Amino acid sequence: MAKKEVLGLIKLQVPAGSANPSPPIGPALGQRGLNIMDFCKQFNDKTKKMEKGMPIPVVITAYSDRSFTFITRKPPNTYWIKKAINLKSGSKTPGTVVAGKITMKQLREIAKEKITDMNANDIDGAAQMLAGSARSMGLDVVE
């Protein structure tokens, strides 16, 4: 059997359990001629145990025979940081206006969850990366 030729990768962020054919999913998959409803069903089945509405990064590999595979990743760092301290949004002017505080202990807990998706060798390195994200959101990082 011949190898399927990869047409391209599609990177999207889709809310868990609520994929539907509306933008951005429909147009992105439709351009490549992929079955949109098939993706939506598979994605919703895979994410049904997750918190509904949680933003899930997904990488879809489109093949020349109009088939596809996809990989889901963990939600973005900013989602976990906002959830940890019950924050609606970060500071509009980071560095001048402080939106809240987060502890290194909280960041280490998030790092344990996210380390598989991060470019870090250990939990402390991942926590430092998360601290940088928190600071760019206008949060004070405290011990």
Summarised one tens digit per residue, pLDDT across range 25-69 is: 999 999 999 999 999 999 999 999 999 989 999 999 999 899 999
Backbone dihedral angles phi then psi of residue 141, each to the nearest 5 degrees? -100, 120
CB 40 within 8 A of CB 20: yes
- The whole-number pLDDT of residue 2 equals 61
Query: In 56-66, which positions are buried (b, 16+ CB within 10 angstroms) versus exposed (e)?
Result: bebebebbeee
The superfamily in CATH containing domain 77-142 is Ribosomal protein L11/L12, C-terminal domain (1.10.10.250)
Backbone dihedral angles phi then psi of residue 4, each to the nearest 5 degrees? -75, 135
Residue-range domain boundaries for the chain:
6-72, 77-142
Residue from 48, 44, 28 nearest 36 by CA:
28
- How many residues comprise the chain? 143
Question: CA 12, 14, 19: angle at the middle one, nearest 5?
Answer: 120
- The model carries a pTM of 0.84
Summarised one tens digit per residue, pLDDT across range 109-129 is: 999 988 888 888 899 999 999
Backbone dihedral angles phi then psi of residue 75, each to the nearest 5 degrees? -60, 160
Report the distance separating Cα 18 and Cα 10, nearest Å.
18
- The whole-number pLDDT of residue 134 equals 93
Place of tokens 């990177």: 11
Residue from 131, 121, 75 nearest 101 by CA:
131
Per CATH, domain 6-72 is 3.30.1550.10: yes
